Amino acid sequence: MRTSKKTNSTPAASSPVPAGADADLALSALGPRLKHARMVRSLTLKALADAAGCSESLLSRVERGQVMPSLANLHRLARALDTNVAELTASFAPPTSPVTRASERPVIEFTGLRGKKRGVKLERVIVPIRGQLLQADIHVLEPKAESLEQIAHAGEEMGYVIEGEFELRLRDEVYLLSAGDSFYFSSDVPHSYRNPGKTQTRVLWTNTPATF
């Protein structure tokens, strides 16, 4: 295990955006888009669930807008549909301004351990639209929150730890980072992460092409 020796006493900053309304909008938009993508490809619920390694009942609930899947599950669903998470959650219309105010930043909240909502939230630094090559989000992890499964895909990504502790796993290598540390890796390296600490962690994360 490689551990950062860097320490930083930067005070914690709270999320500038309440997730509730934006998370509800994201959830209501995801279901119909996921169902449409499945039907365009002539896949049954069972066929897509089997391809993505999730249960048919979970997929049905996602399509009905009843639950937001974990980030790993959503990645697998997108991959099985030959698309990406950004395509399933992106806005169809371009933003009216090149500037996104902190108070207007969309938030998507994913389920955590045992389906609870203390998992991972994405604050959209760049509001995603279809066809974008660049994507940037602030990953917000509550204490002990994690992306449970390693994922891999085309592209490159980098991140900067704004606050808290952050554990990044690249294949079998584990790196412990703290506020002020940064990372870069090729997205085809299987990766996952977690917050090993007792306080909230926030990571500015950029990747290309758009994935989340």
Task: For residue 5, tell me if it sits in a domain.
Answer: no
CB 208 within 8 A of CB 158: no
Alpha carbons 108 and 27: distance in angstroms, whole number: 8
Task: For residue 7, tell me if it sits in a domain.
Answer: no
Position 61: which residue type? R
pTM above 0.75, yes or no: no
Alpha carbons 162 and 137: distance in angstroms, whole number: 12
User: Domain of 175?
Assistant: 18-208
CB 200 within 8 A of CB 164: yes
The CATH number assigned to the domain holding 201 equals 2.60.120.10
pLDDT computed for residue 173 by the predictor = 97
pLDDT < 70 positions in the chain:
1-28, 91-94, 111-118, 212
pLDDT tens, position by position, 189-203:
999 999 999 999 999
pLDDT computed for residue 24 by the predictor = 53
Task: For residue 117, tell me if it sits in a domain.
Answer: yes
Lookup result for tokens 């977690």: 194
Write out 41-59 in H/E/C secondary structure: CCCCHHHHHHHHCCCHHHH
Position 112: which residue type? G
CB 69 within 8 A of CB 49: no
Task: For residue 105, tell me if it sits in a domain.
Answer: yes
Task: For residue 10, tell me if it sits in a domain.
Answer: no
Secondary element (H or E) of residue 177: strand 173-177
Domain count, the chain: 1
Task: For residue 11, tell me if it sits in a domain.
Answer: no
Closest CA to 15 of 138, 112, 159, 113: 138
Burial category of 134 from C-beta neighbours within 10 Å (exposed 0-12, middle 13-18, buried 19 and up): exposed
Task: For residue 63, tell me if it sits in a domain.
Answer: yes
CB 27 within 8 A of CB 68: yes
Angle at 70 between CA 64 and CA 71, to 5 degrees: 115
pLDDT tens, position by position, 66-96:
888 887 888 889 889 988 777 787 765 667 7
Alpha carbons 72 and 136: distance in angstroms, whole number: 18
* DSSP helix/strand/coil, 38: helix
